């Protein structure tokens, strides 16, 4: 199996991620972000209310206990003539409470302002590599499967570049459920803009699946699963719309499959419209140079193969256009009807995808519900059996 090609076209300078930084520059950079409205103030009303509430709860819960102990100790000490020890026992819990309150305030302040250095480092890292940095973005308008699920959707620490094509690295989160069942889902992603729309194809990496199947928020029918040659199926389950099997084979030639295996076997891949997405259930935009080196190598290994994908055309669009030919501007209906005078745009299908290939058909993920149902039946049986045993014993 051939290895990845050269990635010299993708610059990589990780020094801003780890080299010493000037604290005044960090504070000034964070101030500019807040003035531009790119990040919220760390000391907004909600943050202040939460901090005060935490301190009040702590004082209320532990203060009453401390006060009762203090009163008992002081009274006993005064009765026995040990006023000095009573004062010491009085001051000790007070000092402990003050120290804990200060620790809470400091920890909350650090949590609220700790992102400043990360913002500064990632911005310098992006600039050093010919890219730009965006601290956060609410509800990103991307067509990938993870971006249309749940609520409270937002991306953070976006690093973007546009040479030789648009690429975005970021972290993404969304929430599902309500009440006690509310869950926050964390993802890292890479979004690469392609030259033309392609069929909706998903490569579900087998290395990150769980006992209940795929880790992706969507599942697809077995009739859309496409088996490929070699050991590709050991690393990815490939799904393509029904009727687009030949198109998937054109896009995923053996050399492209080799590059996916060698560079991104731990990532889930989705092609939708004119985007390619790489997904992982971990933060991608971090201060870890090794993570960035890996992601840059993945993108760099695929860049020179996207030119082949740009030549793909959906033959169904050509059939549709031929069925309803249009008369070019300035041409007569009689000349357009002559076979050898067909408009040039009908000689080759236009860029795009016919409706059947734009989206995979999703299915209901019933495996997890079946497992939960089995456990519920076992629990109910145990409860019923225990009740019957108690009744007749």
Task: Give the pLDDT of the chain (393 residues) as one tens digit per residue.
Answer: 344 433 444 568 999 999 999 999 999 999 999 999 998 876 554 555 666 666 666 666 666 666 566 556 556 655 555 555 555 555 656 666 666 666 666 655 555 556 899 999 999 999 999 999 999 999 999 999 999 899 999 999 999 999 889 999 999 999 999 888 899 999 999 999 999 999 999 999 999 888 778 999 999 999 999 988 778 999 999 999 999 999 999 999 999 999 999 988 899 999 999 999 999 999 999 999 999 999 999 999 998 889 889 999 999 987 766 665 554 545 444 444 444 545 555 557 889 999 999 999 987 554 444 545 555 566 565 656 555 555 566
Helices (H), the chain: 15-18, 23-35, 45-80, 83-113, 115-128, 232-235, 245-251, 254-264, 289-303, 306-310, 315-323, 333-337, 355-358, 367-392
Element (H, E) at 172: strand 167-176
Pairing of strands 362-363, 236-239: unpaired
Using alpha carbons, select from 352, 359, 143 the residue that is nearest to residue 241. 359
Which pTM value belongs to this model? 0.75
Estimate the crossing angle of helix 23-35 against helix 115-128, to 10 degrees.
Answer: 90
List all residues 6 or more positions away from 108 whose beta carbon is below 8 Å from its beta carbon.
47, 50, 51, 54
Distance between CA atoms of residues 248 and 232, nearest Å: 14
What pLDDT shows up at residue 180?
85
Distance between CA atoms of residues 133 and 127, nearest Å: 8
Distance between CA atoms of residues 240 and 360, nearest Å: 7
Residue keyed to tokens 């019933």: 366
Distance between CA atoms of residues 364 and 272, nearest Å: 20
Distance between CA atoms of residues 246 and 57, nearest Å: 64
What pLDDT shows up at residue 2?
40
The DSSP code sequence of 99-129 is HHHHHHHHHHHHHHHTHHHHHHHHHHHHHHT
Backbone angles phi, psi at 141, to 5 degrees: -85, 70
State how far Cα 73 lies from the chain centre.
56
Long-range contacts of 64-70 (CB under 8 A, 24+ apart): 66/93, 66/94, 66/96, 66/97, 69/93, 70/94
């Amino acid at each position: 199996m051939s290895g990845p090609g050269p990635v010299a076209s993708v610059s990589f300078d990780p020094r801003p991620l780890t080299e010493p930084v000037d604290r005044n520059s960090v504070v000034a950079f964070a101030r500019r972000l807040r003035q531009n409205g790119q990040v919220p103030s760390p000391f907004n009303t909600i943050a202040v209310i939460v901090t005060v509430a935490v301190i009040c709860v702590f004082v209320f819960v532990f203060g009453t206990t401390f006060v009762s102990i203090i009163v008992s100790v002081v009274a006993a000490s005064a009765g026995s003539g040990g006023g000095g020890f009573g004062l010491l026992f009085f001051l000790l819990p007070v000092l402990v409470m003050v120290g804990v309150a200060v620790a809470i305030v400091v920890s909350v302040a650090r949590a609220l302002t700790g992102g400043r250095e990360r913002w500064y480092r990632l911005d310098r890292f992006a600039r050093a590599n010919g890219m730009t940095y965006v601290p956060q973005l609410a509800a990103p308008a991307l067509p990938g499967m993870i971006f249309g699920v749940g609520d409270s959707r937002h991306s953070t620490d976006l690093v973007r570049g546009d040479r030789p094509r648009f690429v975005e690295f970021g972290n993404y989160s969304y929430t599902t459920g309500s009440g006690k069942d509310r869950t926050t889902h964390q993802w890292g992603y890479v979004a690469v803009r392609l030259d033309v729309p392609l069929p909706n194809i998903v490569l579900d990496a087998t290395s990150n699946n769980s006992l209940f199947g795929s880790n992706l928020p969507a599942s697809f029918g077995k009739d859309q699963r496409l088996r490929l040659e070699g050991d590709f199926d050991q690393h990815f389950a490939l799904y393509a719309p029904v009727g687009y099997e030949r198109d998937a084979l054109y896009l995923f030639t053996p050399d492209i499959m080799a590059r996916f295996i060698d560079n991104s076997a731990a990532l889930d891949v989705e092609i939708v419209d004119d985007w390619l997405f790489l997904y992982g259930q971990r933060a991608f935009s971090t201060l870890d140079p090794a993570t960035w080196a890996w992601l840059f190598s993945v993108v760099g290994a695929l860049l020179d193969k996207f030119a082949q994908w740009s030549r793909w055309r959906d033959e169904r669009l050509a059939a549709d256009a031929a069925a309803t030919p249009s008369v070019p501007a300035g041409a007569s209906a009689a000349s357009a009807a002559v076979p050898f005078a067909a408009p040039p745009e009908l000689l080759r299908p236009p860029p795009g995808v016919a409706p059947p290939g734009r989206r995979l058909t999703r299915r209901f993920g019933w495996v997890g519900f079946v497992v939960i149902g089995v456990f519920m039946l076992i629990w109910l049986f145990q409860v019923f059996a225990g009740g019957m045993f108690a009744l007749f014993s």
